Each structure stands twice: as structure tokens, then as C-alpha cells.
Structure 1
Amino acid sequence: MMQAEDSINEMLEMQSVLNEMTNGADWRNGKTALGKVIDWRRCIVMETAELIDSYPWKHWKAVDAQTDIENVRVELVDIWHFLLSLALENFEPENASALLNKALTMSNESQTISSELSAIEQVRIHETMMRTALESVQVSESYLSALTITFFNSCKVAELDFDQLYQIYVAKNVLNKFRQDHGYKEGTYIKEWNGKEDNVVMFEIIAQMPSFSGDDLYISLKEQYIQLGHS
């Protein structure tokens, strides 16, 4: 596995390409090509809310339910997409990389957060990230660092280490690119593949791979999509 700093650089580059593809060349100015306002911090808040719904926090419903920890991890990777985007919107790539890498180091050196916390205690850790994202302050270096540390604290709770974050991020990025290449924005893309969502199929493909490769994943997705009768 490459060094964390190299991985962060690669993910920033991939995120920049994806954002340009989906939002237009000037997405860093805070608007899509269609003039729609982009708010990465609101995206983080809403994804964190979805993450929290993977926990059995409701006292009036499904009281014996278990935490869907796999979905928690997927939601964290979605949040990472938005955090990378926030960093790129406000800082040059080199500075963004340095800030994210420093936050990762600081998180790794801080007191360990136990995954043995109760469901509600884990939810409170995630809510710290949500509260930080909701702060109406300028995205300074210190703010981005603080938000990123709360993110990595949430990863600790979900037992999602950096190598796993990297692999799932790359996989999701490949899937997002595949969707865009096959009509997602136009509404012609088919997300259900023989009764399974495409992201489920993606993880099944990864489980069968002797070693992970983004290029091989894209090829396999295309082969299966064609077998379903789509092009």
C-alpha cells in the first residue's frame, strides 16, 4: 500500500476530475455549470444524518435492531468525497493534501476511540462531525483540520482504517465515473442489476479480485452491465 500522503494526493486528483465531470469546470466557485449552489458542508451534514440512521437510535421503533456497520462505512466514504471537495474548493491541491495528511496524523496520534462504545455513544461521535460541519465560519486551515479530525474519529468508531477508506473511495469513484459514462445524469442509467443495487454488485466484484485495481473494476462493471442488456 502506498504512503497515506500519496493516497491523499491521488484521491484529491480523482475527486477534482469527478467534480469537473459532474458539476462543470468552474465548480470551485461554488456553483454547478447550471448555476446551482454547491454547499459541501451541507452535504456532509446530510450524509452524516443518513449514517446515523444506520444505528438503532430510535426508542419507538425496531428496539432490537442492530447497527448496519457496513452502511456506516459506505456513508463515511461518501462524506470523504465531500470533505475532499471542500478542501479543494478552499485550498490549492498541495495545501489541501498537507492539511488532510496532518489531520490524519493528528488523529492517529490522539487517544484511541473504542469501537466498543454503545450505539448511542457512537452516534454522539458522529454528531460531533455534524456540529462542526454546521459551523457558519470561514473554511480556514484550522477549521478544515478540526472537521477532518472529527471525520477520522468517526472512522475509528466504525473500524474503518485509512487503507480501507482508500480502497472503498477508489471503488466508489470508479462506480461514479461508470454511472456518469452510462447516462446517470441523463436519467438513462439502470441502477438495479438483477435485483441488486450497482454498489452491491461492485463490492461482490471486489471480493472476487485477487488484488484490487480501479481499472479492472471498471472493466468488470462494464462487462456485467452489458450482460444485462445495457450498453
Structure 2
Amino acid sequence: MSNSKSANAINEMLSMQAALNEMTNGANWRSGKTALGKVIDWRRCIVMETAELIDSYPWKHWKSVDATTDRENVRVELVDIWHFLLSLALENFSKDDAADILNKAYESSDDEKLKDLSVIIQVQVHEAMMAKALIKTQVTDSYLSALTVTFFRSCQVAELEFDQLYQIYMAKNVLNKFRQDHGYKEGTYVKVWDGKEDNVVMFEIIERMTIFSGDELYISLKETYSQLA
């Protein structure tokens, strides 16, 4: 994807994230609190999702020593982190400024040294993102840029191309809307569908599509969900 296309895609994703956040957390979500008064901490969200991402790697020396990396889940976790990074950008900057910072960070993040790394070094790349998110400093443009660079470096070691990030984000955005429409916040939503997590079902539906369509994905999710016992 060219730089101009990446800028357009980031603009589109920022718009979708703003709409999702308003639906999920209320019109004043940029204040740092939900409509119910619960504190929002996007950087803590990034930290916790990064921890889940790292657990997709066989880093434990005392357990499952012959395991392999669950690379598909690593990519899904990265897309979840991208949701939170977009939200952090929107909370602190105008959409146009956020798009400019994020896209410039993407353009400057490519590093040939991040190819063919061992499991432990890959984990350390992800930990660098976690460490940056743990810094409770003011969210300046330079801080947001540095955090975003660590994110795209994580994407590089996970072999998640920008085109893939975009498509999975669009799909996850639809799934997140579906979850909210079906009781996710209230705790009534069923996340495991006949033994499969809804993320997995979502990917199976996408694989059957000739051309990706958010509307078609939502309809298919609804039909599948309605058939659960």
C-alpha cells in the first residue's frame, strides 16, 4: 500500500474508531470517562493487550517447551492494540493531526533488522511497545509518534502488513459493533460459538467472501449467532 493510500486508510480507520468509541462509551469519551463515569486508560489497554500478545509466543521455559508461536493470534492482538492506539490519538489530537502523526510514524518504522528474529528477540520488540505505553507522560505528538513506531515494529516482526492490518481492523470493527449490539457491555453476549471464539468465526466468514463487505460480514455474524443453541 502506497503512502497516500496508507494516509487515506488511517483517516478512514480514525473515523470508524471515533464512531465506535461514541457508541460504546458515550459522546464525551474524549474526556477520559465513559458515559457511566468509568475511567478510560487507552495506554493501560495497550499494555494488557501486549501481554496477551506475548503469551501467544512459546516464551515460557517451564511449560510447553515445544510449542510454536500462535502467529494468527499475535496479529489479532495487534489489531486490538491498533484500536486503542487510534483512540489515544483521537483523545489527544484532532483527526487530521492524529492521521498525520500516525502515518508519518508508519512511514518511518520500517527496519530491515527486524526480520528473521528469534522468539525471545521478537518478544523483546513487543515489550518495547509495552514499555513505551507504560510511560505516563503527556501525550505529545513526539510521544504518540514514538509509541506508534514501536507498534509498527511489532507488526513487522509479526509479518502483519499494513494491508492486512487495515482489512482485519475493518472486520474487527464490524465484530465489535456486533458485540455491542448483542449485549457485550451488559455481559449477556456469548463469545464462544459452538466451541469457537467469535474472532475465529469472523475469519472463517471473511475467507468465504469474494470481496470484503462490512455489511455482509455483519449479516453473516447475525445469522450464525442466531443459530447458537
- Which letter maps to 1:55? Y
Matched, 1:96 2:84: no
TM-score normalized by structure 1? Answer: 0.95
Matched, 1:182 2:182: yes
Q: Give the secondary structure class of the aligned counterpart of 1:144.
A: helix
Tell me, in whole angstroms, the C-alpha distance in 2 between the residues paired with 1:43 and 1:193.
25
Tell me, in whole angstroms, the C-alpha distance in 2 between the residues paired with 1:196 and 1:127.
29
Question: Which residue does the alignment assign to 2:193?
Answer: 193
Tell me, in whole angstroms, the C-alpha distance in 1 between the residues paired with 2:115 and 2:177.
33
Q: Give the secondary structure class of the aligned counterpart of 1:107.
A: coil
- 1:50-61 matches, within 5 Å, as 50-61=52-63
Count of residue correspondences? 227
Select which of 13, 19, 22 maps to 1:20.
22
Offset at residue 177 of structure 1 (A): 0.3
Offset at residue 192 of structure 1 (A): 2.0
Moved more, 217-226 or 82-91: 217-226
* Gapped regions of structure 1 (runs ≥ 5): none
Tell me, in whole angstroms, the C-alpha distance in 2 between the residues paired with 1:128 and 1:225.
38
Runs of 4+ in 1 over 3 A off after TM superposition: none
Tell me, in whole angstroms, the C-alpha distance in 2 between the residues paired with 1:208 and 1:113.
36
Question: Which residue does the alignment assign to 1:131?
Answer: 131
Between the aligned residues of both structures, percent identity stands at 74
- Which letter maps to 1:164? Q
* Gapped regions of structure 2 (runs ≥ 5): none
Moved more, 21-30 or 183-192: 183-192
Tell me, in whole angstroms, the C-alpha distance in 2 between the residues paired with 1:201 and 1:191.
10
Any idea what the Cα deviations from partners look like across 1:101-147, whole Å, max 9, x if unmatched? 11111113xx3243411100000100110111111211000000000
- Which letter maps to 2:26? G
Offset at residue 223 of structure 1 (A): 1.7
Q: Give the secondary structure class of the aligned counterpart of 2:215.
A: helix
Tell me, in whole angstroms, the C-alpha distance in 2 between the residues paired with 1:186 and 1:129.
31
Tell me, in whole angstroms, the C-alpha distance in 2 between the residues paired with 1:55 and 1:47.
14
Tell me, in whole angstroms, the C-alpha distance in 2 between the residues paired with 1:41 and 1:52.
16
Question: Which residue does the alignment assign to 1:40?
Answer: 42
Tell me, in whole angstroms, the C-alpha distance in 1 between the residues paired with 2:58 and 2:228.
36
TM-score normalized by structure 2? Answer: 0.95
Contact 2:132–2:147 (8 Å) recurs in 1:
yes
Question: Which residue does the alignment assign to 2:157?
Answer: 157
- Which letter maps to 1:99? I
Contact 2:44–2:133 (8 Å) recurs in 1:
yes
Contact 2:114–2:153 (8 Å) recurs in 1:
no
Matched, 1:208 2:208: yes
Q: Give the secondary structure class of the aligned counterpart of 1:72.
A: helix
Contact 2:170–2:214 (8 Å) recurs in 1:
yes
Contact 1:115–1:158 (8 Å) recurs in 2:
no
Q: Give the secondary structure class of the aligned counterpart of 1:156.
A: helix
Any idea what the Cα deviations from partners look like across 1:7-43, whole Å, max 9, x if unmatched? 1011101111111111111110101111111111111
Contact 2:174–2:217 (8 Å) recurs in 1:
yes
Contact 1:104–1:149 (8 Å) recurs in 2:
yes
Inter-CA distance 113–169: structure 2 relative to 1 (3 Å threshold): farther
Any idea what the Cα deviations from partners look like across 1:143-186, whole Å, max 9, x if unmatched? 00000000000000000000000000010010000111112122
Moved more, 188-197 or 88-97: 188-197
